[in-house]
């Protein structure tokens, strides 16, 4: 189900709770909502659809959607400063990011993964994990 975009700073500022297998419908809604907003958004966290769970999804090259349950960045390299926008917020804000990251997460089947990401994909993942941590850019 496509859900409305949450713009409530109070909810967005809260640290998300770990997700369980009971939260899979939230992941499905998150991916559907991300796809419905693909013209203006490349990543979403569950709190952006009003659910305080540690779930994110990103779109790479408009074709590959990567869902991540309980993502945690385990390695970071090559910091840089940038500016980012957010579907839940107005305007553009400064952010510190890392060009290369390693992330541990679970997929739809709760199979554990550890993957490395660089460049724009790494930036989007960091932005969405910030959402899970209650960090607003």
Q: In whole angstroms, what is the distance from residue 11 CA to residue 69 CA?
A: 19
Query: Tokens standing for 120?
Result: 């724009």
CA distance readout (Å), 110 to 14, 62, 113: 24, 24, 9
Distance CA 78, CA 97 (A): 8
Told to judge if 17 belongs to the known catalytic residues of this protein, a careful annotator would answer no
Which residue is listed with tokens 């945690």?
Answer: 72
Q: Which of 21, 32, 102, 128 is catalytic?
A: 128
Q: How many CA atoms lie within 13 A of 92 on its CB side?
A: 3
For residues 36 and 48, give the distance between their C-alpha atoms in angstroms, rounded to a whole number.
14
- The span from the CA of 55 to the CA of 127, in Å, is 13
- Residues designated catalytic: 128
């Amino acid at each position: 189900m496509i859900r409305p975009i949450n713009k409530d700073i109070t909810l967005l500022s809260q640290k998300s709770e770990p997700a369980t297998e009971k939260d899979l419908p939230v992941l499905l809604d998150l991916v559907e909502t991300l796809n419905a907003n693909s013209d203006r958004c490349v990543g979403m966290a569950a709190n952006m659809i009003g659910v305080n769970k540690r779930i994110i999804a990103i779109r790479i090259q408009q074709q590959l959607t990567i869902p991540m349950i309980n993502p945690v960045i385990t390695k970071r390299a090559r910091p840089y400063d940038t500016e980012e926008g957010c579907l839940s917020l107005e305007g553009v804000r400064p952010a510190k990011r890392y060009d290369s990251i390693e992330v541990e997460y679970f997929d739809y089947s709760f199979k554990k993964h550890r993957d490395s990401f660089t460049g724009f994909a790494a930036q989007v993942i960091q932005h969405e994990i910030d959402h899970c941590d209650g960090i607003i850019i």
